[in-house]
Amino acid sequence: MAQARRATSDKPRRVLVTRFSALGDVAMTLPVVYGACRANPGVAFIFATRRHMAKMFVNPPANLTVFAFDPADYEGLTGLKRLYDHLSSKFDFDAVADFHSVLRTRVIDWYARRDGLKVVSLDKSRSHRRALTRRHNKVLVPLRPMLERYADVITALGLHAPGPFVSLFPPEGAPAERYAILSEPKRRGERWVAVAPFAKYSGKIYPAGLMEKALRMIVEDNPDVRVFLLGAGASEEAQLDKWGATIERTTSLAGNGGGLAAELALLSHVDAVVAMDSANMHLAALVGAPTVSIWGATHPYCGFSAFGADEANAVQLAIECRPCSIFGNKTCRRGDYLCLAGISPRTVADRVNSLLRANPPKK
């Protein structure tokens, strides 16, 4: 059994940050975590998350350690107790920043409080979420952004507010060798557009037929553009390979084996991204890539807009049933997903063209 211990001062020196999933949610925490590390250089931060998330922590601050684990190794209450004991003995943390606030992290919180440690949990404002997404009498008011809620956890621990964050990479982007498995370096006069047309739930996915039309418009409107298609899994790979084979200057990166780190490196050089309300939207934000986001069942008002997102680049329809879900996982009550099917491909293409006009190619 871990020996009970108490924090020795009001300001913690070693903070355990917990956020186990999902990919996009973990990505959203990085600007706050990196900013907190730089604003509190005398504090050690330990970020505990799933193993496959660790590769997105590129160029981390010196006082950040990522503890990556497989949840299957720590199942149930006894497993979580073992996880807590392991983290405690390895890092001797004196405070917990719970960025997840779910049952698993609450178990960790309970053991930390038992040991006299300061614990601050994320406020998800669940009642306001229900009011925003209910079918009738919606309260259509923006919820406090998740990025600000994560920062609240840091300051509630008695630490300095997170400092500024711009990108995981320097202004010139990642070195070419970081993404060499995906592409050769950008040619002079060439511009890159990355398109990530998928999401976990149907309520977030722009219909494939409309997306294909938007892709063809982007390519036809911009003869200097090369398009990269991002996705994972067999069904996504099949669709993206088809588009890559039939749309000029378009390359599918699905199934290439490059991995998350290589994708981030490539994204640091793109001139525009098209993404759903999905993990790729947040990954693009981590490298400062200008992004056109497409919203369906969800809504920026839910608080999950990407770091640094420009509201003008959120493509969405103002229909009375939106938002019907925080995560996009509910079946469409109308049965037609008009929130997505009603968005014109030309609207998407024009928004991308606007970003490209603002970033002319280097001659």
pLDDT single digits (tens) 268-311: 999 999 999 999 999 999 999 999 999 999 999 999 999 999 99
Q: Does residue 142 form part of some domain?
A: yes
If asked whether residues 227 and 285 sit together in one domain, one would say: yes
If asked whether residues 141 and 188 sit together in one domain, one would say: no
Range of the domain at 105: 14-156
Q: Work out the average pLDDT over 26-34.
A: 98
If asked whether residues 105 and 221 sit together in one domain, one would say: no
Average predicted confidence (pLDDT) for the chain: 95
If asked whether residues 135 and 61 sit together in one domain, one would say: yes
Res 4 pLDDT > 60:
no
pLDDT, position 2: 43
The residue assigned the tokens 């990085």 is: 30
pLDDT, position 363: 58
SS3 (DSSP) at 113? helix
pLDDT tens, 95-119? 999 999 999 999 999 999 999 999 9
- For 126-284, strand residue ranges (E) read 191-196, 225-229, 250-252, 272-276
Q: Does residue 182 form part of some domain?
A: yes
If asked whether residues 151 and 183 sit together in one domain, one would say: no
If asked whether residues 145 and 230 sit together in one domain, one would say: no
Task: Compute CA 259 distance to the chain's CA centroid, rounded to the nearest angstrom.
Answer: 16
Task: Compute CA 71 distance to the chain's CA centroid, rounded to the nearest angstrom.
Answer: 20
pLDDT grade, residue 361 (50/70/90)?
confident
Task: Compute CA 49 distance to the chain's CA centroid, rounded to the nearest angstrom.
Answer: 14
What angle, 0 to 180 degrees and rounded to 10, lies between the N-to-C axes of helices 23-39 and 279-286? Answer: 30
Q: Does residue 270 form part of some domain?
A: yes
Which has the closest alpha carbon to 199: 227, 166, 233?
Answer: 233
Total tally of structural domains belonging to the chain:
2
If asked whether residues 245 and 136 sit together in one domain, one would say: no
If asked whether residues 340 and 267 sit together in one domain, one would say: yes
**Residue at which a domain ends, from 122, 156, 190:** 156
Res 51 pLDDT > 80:
yes
Which has the closest alpha carbon to 136: 308, 339, 333?
Answer: 333
If asked whether residues 353 and 261 sit together in one domain, one would say: yes
Res 3 pLDDT > 70:
no
Rounded Cα distance, 238 and 288, in Å: 29
The residue assigned the tokens 């060798």 is: 177
pLDDT tens, 218-254? 999 999 999 999 999 899 999 999 999 999 999 999 9
SS3 (DSSP) at 131? helix
Contact 3, 33 (CB under 8 A): no
Rounded Cα distance, 165 and 186, in Å: 25
What angle, 0 to 180 degrees and rounded to 10, lies between the N-to-C axes of helices 259-267 and 279-286? Answer: 60
Res 263 pLDDT > 60:
yes
Q: Does residue 258 form part of some domain?
A: yes
- The helix (run of H) or strand (run of E) holding residue 18 is strand 14-18
Task: Give the CATH number for residue 116.
Answer: 3.40.50.2000
If asked whether residues 265 and 215 sit together in one domain, one would say: yes
Rounded Cα distance, 47 and 122, in Å: 15
If asked whether residues 25 and 148 sit together in one domain, one would say: yes
pLDDT, position 1: 40
Its pTM stands at 0.95
If asked whether residues 353 and 217 sit together in one domain, one would say: yes
